[in-house]
Structure 1
């Protein structure tokens, strides 16, 4: 047997070797070779004894002779592969038996075979490389198992997170819908409160019941015709409902005198009511847009109005709209001239004042509404007996004496429909009922 100096480098890890051979001198040589290199060496003189050692010890690598009695190396290594597949298997053979080597490779799946006599240095390098490969394979398997476990944990975590996100999304959606519904209700209640307050102002101003709502509805239609956005349209609508709020402190005589009959101090007092209206609303932040419209409602397009003498486009568009809408109905109820004009006469005066008192663009929109019935989205008029649950009011439901019974956008149910029909029966008059959904729930 040839000997050589063993490599100076020792393994980077501690390992246990099992050497199996029926020749004691071969086992002694292997032990002398591997122990100085830092390996723990176990010996067995037969395959059966080798299996007993493996049952008791944790072995990293097995070196087995091929030719042994009762159980040869191929048979022994085949059992090692079956029972301890992670143990590296090397075959030591002293003769050229190709068939035996093939059996060992096929049945025992050996890592390498070594012929006798061996070079000590080659043997040490071979064992070291085999153990390093085993370590790499174990590290690979461990990392794969770790990756698989972490992937499963991440999958579980993702599923949990997805469930939590979905639950939170549903919660936020429900909260958003509840908040939106509450805000919509607040807005409806706000406008309804303004309408009630407007009715109270009418009682003091001796206007015809429903006058402010007629002005507000025409102003809204003009805003829609001029393609104003929803916020501007609502500011104009509210300003129109409250356009007489500055007259609350007027004496009855002043309230009942047509505008063309006012002179001196009375006329001066009348011209201040827009400024007074703006002052009353200014503390309410949500009504400041409407307050600015009210202040400029008596301004004229030609610059001869009050209180600031604004002209043309310097006048807020909402004020230009309100001026026309209010004058159209004031002319019909005798608030501007000594007699009540017919709608056709009021319309003619407004058209004649285009470019003077009124904005020509607003006048053109007014003419389209009056002549062409613009604002087709106002709904259809129905009888109380035609009402169905689910119908939505397109206009406020007003009694003959100007009392607001239900506000626009109210969704009718069977109970409310019965109350409307009972009201008509008791009052002896038919209500003007306008709805957006003629079919209701049917």
Structure 2
């Protein structure tokens, strides 16, 4: 049965309209999706820009912080240098004050410091502690500033028992003075125990063995050697002095540190070594002695040139200056 033409047209028209409607809907969906993609793209661009601005800001802040840190580091470095310089100046002032009380002390102290620091490093002491030991050695006789001049100028055989005890207490006295200065407290501890004996019979605290700071034990060894060999010059043979010290091992001195002293001495002094001059106290000056060095006062005035043979008049002149402008660096005489 044939379908009427109008009805066919109507169906076709309906299909076209539905197809057009579907296409319009699809187009609308695509448009929405496009708009969403554009919006997301804009959002991402905006976020990227914001992140870039944050990065640039953070980078600038980091640079500023680095610059500020560098400036602070430079300030700290400058401050540390000033403190270090002040510390060195304080040591020099203390040395000068000791030298005024006991002219010629400084050269002895410098030798002890040089040898003690080298031995400390050989014995495994770290560099910082070795430096503390060297400083302690440079000013280890600071306690003598509190001892009357009349006692310091006496020969050992002329001292009374109480005067001997006072001299033996000089390191504890000096340590007590230095402890009042915060930056010298570690140095003070080393100085305090220089006269301790490894068998516990020493002073001031009767410490023994490793209870005694290693710096104190090292300085005790070196000070004994330099005093006998360079100051008192009881012998011109370094081996003889070492033999005397060896007899006191395990009693006064540390046996384990002794080999380092032996190596140091043998590396610096030959058996035939003979000093050509000697530093002596003013009270020991005698007519006929000849100066081996120019004699200056603290203020730089030359009292006498090297080679001068002392007379009673010249000795009196030196003594007069001592009360107003003390001798600097000690009096050195020729050994004949």
Between the aligned partners of 2:53 and 2:297, the Cα distance in structure 1 is: 64
Q: Secondary structure at the match of 2:124?
A: coil
Q: How far 1:297 moved relative to its partner?
A: 0.7
1:315 corresponds, among 212, 216, 219, to 212
User: Which residue of the partner structure matches residue 304 of structure 1?
Assistant: 201
Q: Secondary structure at the match of 2:137?
A: helix
Between the aligned partners of 1:403 and 1:225, the Cα distance in structure 2 is: 38
1:349 corresponds, among 222, 244, 256, to 244
User: Which residue of the partner structure matches residue 141 of structure 1?
Assistant: 38
User: Which residue of the partner structure matches residue 364 of structure 1?
Assistant: 259
Between the aligned partners of 2:130 and 2:47, the Cα distance in structure 1 is: 59
1:265 corresponds, among 142, 162, 168, to 162
1:69-88 matches, within 5 Å, as none
User: Which residue of the partner structure matches residue 103 of structure 1?
Assistant: none
User: Which residue of the partner structure matches residue 101 of structure 2?
Assistant: 204
Q: How far 1:151 moved relative to its partner?
A: 1.3
Q: How far 1:355 moved relative to its partner?
A: 2.5
Distance 1:155 1:138, change over 3 A: same
Structure with the greater relative contact order (CA < 8 A, sep ≥ 6): 1 or 2?
2
Distance 1:333 1:266, change over 3 A: farther
1:109-124 matches, within 5 Å, as 116-118=13-15
Q: Secondary structure at the match of 1:360?
A: coil
Between the aligned partners of 1:249 and 1:158, the Cα distance in structure 2 is: 67
Q: Is the 8 A contact 1:202 1:212 kept in 2?
A: no
Q: Is the 8 A contact 1:296 1:315 kept in 2?
A: yes
Name whichever of 154-163 and 276-285 sits farther off: 154-163
Q: How far 1:187 moved relative to its partner?
A: 1.0
Pair 1:276-2:276 in alignment: no
Q: How far 1:122 moved relative to its partner?
A: 7.2
Question: What TM-score, normalized by structure 2, do the two folds share?
Answer: 0.68
Per-residue Cα deviation, 1:291-325 (whole angstroms, up to 9, x for no partner):
11111110111222111111111111111112112
1:108-257 matches, within 5 Å, as 116-118=13-15, 127-257=24-154
Q: How many residues were matched structurally?
A: 266
Q: Is the 8 A contact 1:240 1:322 kept in 2?
A: yes
Distance 1:133 1:371, change over 3 A: farther
Between the aligned partners of 2:106 and 2:133, the Cα distance in structure 1 is: 20
Consecutive unaligned residues of structure 1, counting only runs of 5 or more, are: 1-93, 95-114, 374-398, 405-426, 430-442
Q: Is the 8 A contact 1:209 1:401 kept in 2?
A: no
Over the aligned positions, Cα root-mean-square deviation in angstroms equals 3.2
Q: Is the 8 A contact 1:239 1:290 kept in 2?
A: yes
Distance 1:288 1:209, change over 3 A: closer
Question: What TM-score, normalized by structure 1, do the two folds share?
Answer: 0.53
Distance 1:351 1:134, change over 3 A: farther
Consecutive unaligned residues of structure 2, counting only runs of 5 or more, are: 1-8, 269-292, 299-304, 308-336
Q: How far 1:226 moved relative to its partner?
A: 1.9
User: Which residue of the partner structure matches residue 20 of structure 1?
Assistant: none
